[in-house]
Amino acid sequence: MADPTAVAEEQARADRLRRTVDVACAVLRQGRLSRAEAEALVADTRRRALALFPDKEDVFDLVLAPRFRRILEEFCPRGTPVGRRPEGSDPSRQGRVLPFRRRS
């Protein structure tokens, strides 16, 4: 049987990660960041996620990276000035920050 304290700590870390990712996504969706600022926010969110769950880069890359990529392409396409998103922007372009790869 699992230790109740360990389970509670794991749940608290998972809740913190969920809130961190939700806030980052909300800020990105506002569309007021330049592409560089948005990428920096995603990179910082990744660092925070890995601080909460070390050695889980693969899970981040599989679950959260595609979510951030879609949001970046929709709300912060490349070459967009702060606060402006061109109509008809190409959503198929990949972001520089994504996908994340493990350092060797």
Residue 19 covered by a domain: yes
Asked if 86 and 80 touch (Cβ cutoff 8 Å), the reply is: yes
pLDDT value of residue 102: 53
For residue range 13-55, list pLDDT tens digits in order.
999 999 999 999 999 999 889 999 999 999 999 999 999 999 9
Tell me, yes or no, whether 29 lies in a domain.
Answer: yes
**Measured distance CA(34)–CA(78) in Å, rounded:** 8
Number of domains in the chain: 1
Name the band, by pLDDT with cuts 50, 70 and 90, for residue 76.
confident
Please check whether residue 63 lies inside any domain of the structure: yes
pTM for this model (two decimals) = 0.72
Whether residue 99 is contained in a domain is answered as no
Q: Is 18 part of a structural domain of the chain?
A: yes
Q: Is residue 49 part of a domain?
A: yes
In a domain, 102, yes or no: no
Give the integer Cα–Cα distance in Å for 88 and 24: 24
Structural domain for 51, as ranges: 11-75
Indicate whether 92 belongs to any domain. no
CB neighbour burial string for 19-39, b if at least 16 within 10 angstroms, e if fewer:
eebeebbebbeebebebeebb
- At 77-100, the pLDDT tens digits run 877 555 554 444 444 443 444 444
